[in-house]
Structure 1
Amino acid sequence: MYTELAEDYRIICVGFDGHDKNDHNTFRHINDQILGIEKYIKEHYNGHLYGVYGSSLGGSVLGKLLERKNVQIDIAITGSTDFEQKANPWATLSAALITPLFYYLIKAKHPIKILRNFLDKMYGDSSKVLGVMYKGISYKSLYNVYYTDLVTPVADNIVLQNTKIYCTYGTKEDTKTLTRRYIQHFPKAELVALGGMHHEEFLVFNPDEWIDMIKHLLKREAYSYPNG
Structure 2
Amino acid sequence: MKFYESGDSSKPVIFLFPGTCCLYSSFDHILDRLHSYFYTVTVSYFVSLLIQRKRIHIDHGIIGSSDMDEAGRLVAKIKSSMVVPFMYKMIHTGALPKFMQKKLNKTDEVKKELYNGFLNMFGIGKGGNPWIAKQSIYNQFYSDLVTKVQHGIDVPGTTIHVFYATKMGRKYEKRYWTYFKNPDIRRHNMQHEELFCCHSAEWVEEVGKAVEGDR
TM superposition score category, shorter chain reference: 0.5 to 0.7
State the superposition RMSD in angstroms.
3.1
Name the structure 1 match of 2:174: 180
TM-score, normalization: structure 1? 0.60
1:77-98 deviations in whole A, cap 9, x for unaligned? xxxx434564321110121223
1:17 aligns with 2:42: no
Indicate conservation of the 8 Å contact 2:165/2:193, yes or no. yes
Gaps of 5+ in 2: 1-29, 124-128
Name the structure 1 match of 2:134: 139
Name the structure 2 match of 1:40: none
Q: State the secondary structure of the residue aligned to 1:164.
A: coil
Name the structure 2 match of 1:170: 165
Return closer, same or farther for 1:157/1:138 CA change in 2, 3 Å cut-off.
same
1:88 aligns with 2:50: no
Q: Whole-Å Cα distance in 2 between the matches of residues 116 and 25 of structure 1?
A: 36
Give runs of aligned pairs for residues 107-118 of structure 1, distance below 5 A. Answer: 107-113=94-100
The one of 36, 50, 56 aligned to 1:32 = 56
Return closer, same or farther for 1:114/1:96 CA change in 2, 3 Å cut-off.
farther
Once the two structures are TM-superposed, the CA of residue 110 in structure 1 deviates from its matched residue by 4.8
Query: 1:3 corresponds to which letter in structure 2?
Result: D
Return closer, same or farther for 1:161/1:168 CA change in 2, 3 Å cut-off.
same
Return closer, same or farther for 1:194/1:24 CA change in 2, 3 Å cut-off.
farther
Query: 1:196 corresponds to which letter in structure 2?
Result: M
Indicate conservation of the 8 Å contact 2:65/2:149, yes or no. no
Once the two structures are TM-superposed, the CA of residue 33 in structure 1 deviates from its matched residue by 4.6
Q: Whole-Å Cα distance in 1 between the matches of residues 63 and 86 of structure 2?
A: 19
Indicate conservation of the 8 Å contact 1:99/1:142, yes or no. yes
Indicate conservation of the 8 Å contact 1:168/1:192, yes or no. yes
Q: State the secondary structure of the residue aligned to 2:37.
A: coil
Q: State the secondary structure of the residue aligned to 2:155.
A: coil
Q: Whole-Å Cα distance in 1 between the matches of residues 75 and 96 of structure 2?
A: 31
Query: 1:220 corresponds to which letter in structure 2?
Result: G
Q: Whole-Å Cα distance in 1 between the matches of residues 46 and 33 of structure 2?
A: 27
Q: Whole-Å Cα distance in 2 between the matches of residues 94 and 3 of structure 1?
A: 37
Q: Whole-Å Cα distance in 2 between the matches of residues 167 and 115 of structure 1?
A: 34
Return closer, same or farther for 1:176/1:98 CA change in 2, 3 Å cut-off.
farther
Q: Whole-Å Cα distance in 1 between the matches of residues 52 and 174 of structure 2?
A: 29
Identity value in percent:
21
TM-score, normalization: structure 2? 0.63
Gaps of 5+ in 1: 35-58, 64-80, 222-228
Return closer, same or farther for 1:160/1:208 CA change in 2, 3 Å cut-off.
same
